[in-house]
């Protein structure tokens, strides 16, 4: 069985990021300094308030749905009043963090490293967090939440981009992504794909297994040739695409009506489809996914309340509530005690998790440690993505 592990390049990626971080630190004469590597040594008295930047659905205080509230408990427990802002894309969050208005940020892997490199977030002393121990080991100290052996946050939850298919169209379950790539023409006009440059990594994962000659070892570290191969694959796929999706409700409706019959998806989408004629699989090539991290701003105005929040949101009950609401696996077995759907998210299944290449920001310095070539960065991916869509 061909299995891909996301861990091997972690150390190299960490080194690469660290060196970039160093360069950035030298390049900008930050007057504050200091904040980048010195983690807190104790949690002091709370400051009375904490400002949080997060994905929608991560910080719910009951205003959206009175039933959905895990912030009020935190406020009564710690006396820290929470103000929160949500963001729609990692890029938006990146520019919002530059304002310095936020103490805590929930970052996906395609954001976290940029924040570390730009010095916007501080190292996190996980010894201070009671709930850190219970978190799954395979989420700790990964390339997207630590640099050079220093932790920059605590895991929140994770999920995989899965292959969803319509059971009326597929008599046997597909086992490979080839149904959306090489064999996509069998369902011409009914294939769907995620509408973001980061989807290029999905093509790279496929090429890793099917075109070993290209030498791709990390789908987020593509040199010019490898990117061109992925772009060609996606341009061929484009001919068979019915529509792309980025709003998950759009994909739910497309699968319910039958406008899409096969394509990449999230577990929460499968859970939302009401017609019951869809299934999801994790194909044999492995897949991409996301693993989110709570991070503390390097110039946080309320560092103590920020640590309180990190500890609270990792606590089983709060973590269960937040990850269940968003539709992803929680960060600990203890959290599963408070959820009844952990199995469908494969929470704690390390084998399952090891097949996921978590989103990372592609940067010029190859994440897989190659030094003889320059890799394509996210802006090159964005341009490529526009060209693929044509």
Binding residues for another protein, per CB under 8 A? 20, 24, 88-89, 91-92, 94-95, 98, 114, 117-118, 189, 196-197, 238, 241-244, 250, 253, 257-259, 363-364, 377-380, 382-383, 385-387, 389-390
380 CB contacts (<8 Å, ≥6 apart)? Answer: 227, 362
> Toward another protein, which CB reaches closer, 118 or 208?
118
- Percentage helix, strand, coil, to 5, in the chain? 40, 20, 40
Residue 255 near residue 164, CB atoms below 8 Å = yes
* Sole residue written with tokens 């060196």: 19
* Sole residue written with tokens 């190299």: 12
Find the helix packing angle between 303-314 and 316-326, rounded to 10°. 80
> How far, in Å, are 98, 293, 317 from residue 54 at the CA level?
15, 10, 19
Instruction: Write down the least CB distance from residue 181 to another protein, Å.
Output: 15
> Toward another protein, which CB reaches closer, 87 or 177?
87
List the end-to-end C-alpha distance of the chain, in Å, as a whole number. Answer: 37
Closest to 170 in 3D by CA, of 42, 231, 82, 261:
261
> Toward another protein, which CB reaches closer, 142 or 376?
376
> Toward another protein, which CB reaches closer, 276 or 390?
390
Residue 33 burial (10 A CB sphere; 0-12, 13-18, 19+): exposed
Instruction: Write down the least CB distance from residue 314 to another protein, Å.
Output: 29
Instruction: Write down the least CB distance from residue 355 to another protein, Å.
Output: 26
Instruction: Write down the least CB distance from residue 335 to another protein, Å.
Output: 31
> Toward another protein, which CB reaches closer, 238 or 370?
238
Instruction: Write down the least CB distance from residue 237 to another protein, Å.
Output: 10
Residue 55 near residue 86, CB atoms below 8 Å = yes
Instruction: Write down the least CB distance from residue 138 to another protein, Å.
Output: 29
State the chain's maximal CA–CA distance in angstroms: 63
> Toward another protein, which CB reaches closer, 249 or 340?
249
Instruction: Write down the least CB distance from residue 14 to another protein, Å.
Output: 17
> Toward another protein, which CB reaches closer, 173 or 364?
364
> Toward another protein, which CB reaches closer, 7 or 188?
188
Distance CA 288, CA 29 (A): 36
Residue 35 near residue 299, CB atoms below 8 Å = yes
Instruction: Write down the least CB distance from residue 257 to another protein, Å.
Output: 4
> How far, in Å, are 46, 136, 284, 288, 357 from residue 162 at the CA level?
41, 21, 11, 8, 12
């Amino acid at each position: 069985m061909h299995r891909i592990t996301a861990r091997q390049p972690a150390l190299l990626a960490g080194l690469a990021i660290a060196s970039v971080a160093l360069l950035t630190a030298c390049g900008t004469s930050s007057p504050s300094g200091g904040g980048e590597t010195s983690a807190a040594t104790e949690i002091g008295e709370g400051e009375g308030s904490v400002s949080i930047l997060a994905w929608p659905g991560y910080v719910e205080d009951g205003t959206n749905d009175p039933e959905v509230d895990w912030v009020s408990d935190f406020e009564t427990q710690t006396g820290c009043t929470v103000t929160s802002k949500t963001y729609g894309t990692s890029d938006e969050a990146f520019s919002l963090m530059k304002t310095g208005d936020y103490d805590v940020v929930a970052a996906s892997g395609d954001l976290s490293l940029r924040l570390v490199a730009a010095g916007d977030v501080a190292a996190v002393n996980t010894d201070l967090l009671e709930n850190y121990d219970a978190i799954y080991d395979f989420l700790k100290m990964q390339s997207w939440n630590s640099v050079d052996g220093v932790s920059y946050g605590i895991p929140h939850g994770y999920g995989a981009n899965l292959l969803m298919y319509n059971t009326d169209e597929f008599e046997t379950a597909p086992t490979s992504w080839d149904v959306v790539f090489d064999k996509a023409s069998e369902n011409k006009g009914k294939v769907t794909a995620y509408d973001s440059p980061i989807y290029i990594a999905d093509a790279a994962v496929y090429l890793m297994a099917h075109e070993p000659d290209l030498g791709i070892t990390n789908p987020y570290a593509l040199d010019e040739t490898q990117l061109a191969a992925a772009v060609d694959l996606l341009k061929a796929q484009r001919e068979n695409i019915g529509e792309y999706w980025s709003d998950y409700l759009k994909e739910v409706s497309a699968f319910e009506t039958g406008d899409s019959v096969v394509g990449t998806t999230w577990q929460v989408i499968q859970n939302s489809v009401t017609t019951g004629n869809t299934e999801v699989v994790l194909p044999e090539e492995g897949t991409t996914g996301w693993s989110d991290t709570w991070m503390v701003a390097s110039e946080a105005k309320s560092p103590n309340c920020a640590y309180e929040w990190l500890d609270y949101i990792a606590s089983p009950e709060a973590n269960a509530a937040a990850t269940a609401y968003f539709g992803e696996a929680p960060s600990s077995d203890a959290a599963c005690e408070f959820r009844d759907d952990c199995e469908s998210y494969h929470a704690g299944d390390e084998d399952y998790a090891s097949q996921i290449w978590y989103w990372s920001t592609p940067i010029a310095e190859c994440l897989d440690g190659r030094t003889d070539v320059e890799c394509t960065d996210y802006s090159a991916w964005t341009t490529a993505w526009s060209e693929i869509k044509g």
